[in-house]
């Protein structure tokens, strides 16, 4: 579906809501003010490279890590444009010390950076990036990386927020149209039980309003409502702790809707 839709840029914002600082395994002083945007290349790299599959009658297997200059350039531009709207800093994550493909990635990102002199760029090996996301997450603004590294790092970064159930995502094509979904996918193991956290899905809808429908005020209203219900102490099972109120999927969703409705009525 991603390849057919041409949604090559996956945006995963990682923002720590003040009310959930205590739900992360990290210390609170490392989390306050964390606001990272991970830009993951989504339709290339190891997940799509050819040749792939079993070989030698099943005695070996192969996957191919391949990127073209065009694929890297377009996702790099998304990262630099995003940084211009944020704090002006891009960290490109690679494994250039071992893999020629990622030395090529590094070279192309550096080339694109010349078009964005107002944005700072640094390069970081993926193993160090994984460590720094835990050690000093506030140092990151925008992270741009390949398909597999982006998949892994964004799931790691979800733990900064307390739960992957808090992580929305947008997968965009060249016209800023695309696919909006929670980073955790459909979670079939808990379907129908009323315990899933709907906030990542709700926040994904806010991203759709902001990026595809050009309605930033409506997006901000949804995001503010999510922050409000969390401040009220409402929690689904994945983010619940002593002293807060455990609610179902429907109850959490209804609370967000009620808060938005109240805001609209007042305005």
**22 part of the active site:** no
pTM: 0.91
**151 part of the active site:** yes
Per-residue confidence (pLDDT) for residue 55, from 0 to 100: 94
Beta bridge partners, 61, equal 54
**47 part of the active site:** yes
Catalytic residue, chosen from 73, 125, 138, 155, is 155
3-state secondary structure 93-161: EECCCCCHHHHHHHHHHHHHHCCCCCCEEEEEEHHHHHHHHHHCHHHCCEEEECHHHHHHHHHHHHHHH
CA dist 52 to 45, 48, 68, 83, Å? 12, 9, 17, 35
CA 228 remoteness from chain centre? 22
What is the domain partition of the chain in residue ranges? 1-185, 187-267
Average pLDDT across each block of 10 residues of the chain; the chain has 267 residues. List them in order: 90 92 86 94 96 94 97 98 97 98 98 98 98 95 98 92 89 93 78 89 95 94 96 94 94 96 79
Could you give the count of Cα atoms lying within 13 Å of 78 in the half-sphere of its Cβ? Answer: 28
Beta bridge partners, 57, equal none
Per-residue confidence (pLDDT) for residue 130, from 0 to 100: 98
Catalytic residue, chosen from 35, 47, 125, 254, is 47
CATH 3.40.718.10 fits 1-185, yes or no: yes
What is the DSSP-derived secondary structure letter of residue 175?
T
Rounded CA separation 218/39 (Å) = 23
**95 part of the active site:** yes
Tokens 């947008």 correspond to 170
Could you give the count of Cα atoms lying within 13 Å of 101 in the half-sphere of its Cβ? Answer: 14
**73 part of the active site:** no
Angle, CA 32 vertex, CA 27 and CA 38 arms, to 5°: 100
Catalytic residue, chosen from 22, 107, 127, 245, is 127
Tell whether the torsion through CA atoms of 13, 18, 164 and 151 is positive or negative. Answer: positive
Catalytic residue, chosen from 95, 106, 116, 180, is 95
Q: Residues 6 or more apart from 81 whose CB is under 8 A from it?
A: none
Catalytic residue, chosen from 67, 106, 116, 151, is 151
Rounded CA separation 215/224 (Å) = 14
């Amino acid at each position: 579906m991603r390849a057919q839709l041409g949604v090559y840029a996956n945006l995963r914002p990682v923002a720590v809501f003040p009310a959930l600082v205590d739900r992360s395994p990290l210390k609170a002083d490392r989390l306050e003010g964390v606001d990272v945007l991970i830009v993951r290349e989504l339709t290339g790299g190891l997940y799509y490279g050819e040749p792939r599959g079993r070989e030698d009658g099943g005695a070996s297997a192969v996957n191919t890590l391949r990127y073209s200059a065009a694929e890297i350039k377009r996702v790099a531009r998304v990262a630099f444009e995003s940084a211009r709207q944020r704090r002006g800093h891009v960290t490109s994550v690679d494994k250039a010390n071992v893999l020629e493909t990622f030395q090529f990635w590094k070279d192309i990102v550096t080339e694109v950076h010349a078009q964005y002199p107002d944005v700072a760029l640094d390069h970081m090996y993926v193993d160090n990036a994984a460590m720094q996301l835990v050690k000093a997450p506030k140092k990151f603004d925008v992270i741009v990386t390949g398909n597999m590294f982006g998949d892994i790092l964004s799931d790691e970064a979800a733990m900064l927020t307390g739960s992957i159930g808090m992580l929305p995502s947008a997968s965009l094509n060249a016209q800023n149209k695309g696919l909006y979904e929670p980073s955790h996918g459909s979670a079939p193991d808990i379907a129908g039980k009323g315990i899933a956290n709907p906030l990542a899905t709700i926040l994904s809808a806010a991203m759709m309003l902001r990026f595809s429908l050009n309605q930033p005020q409506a997006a901000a209203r949804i995001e503010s409502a999510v922050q409000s219900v969390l401040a009220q102490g409402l929690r689904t099972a994945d983010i619940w702790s002593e002293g807060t109120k455990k609610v179902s999927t429907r109850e959490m969703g209804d609370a967000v809707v009620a808060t938005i409705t109240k805001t609209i009525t007042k305005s």
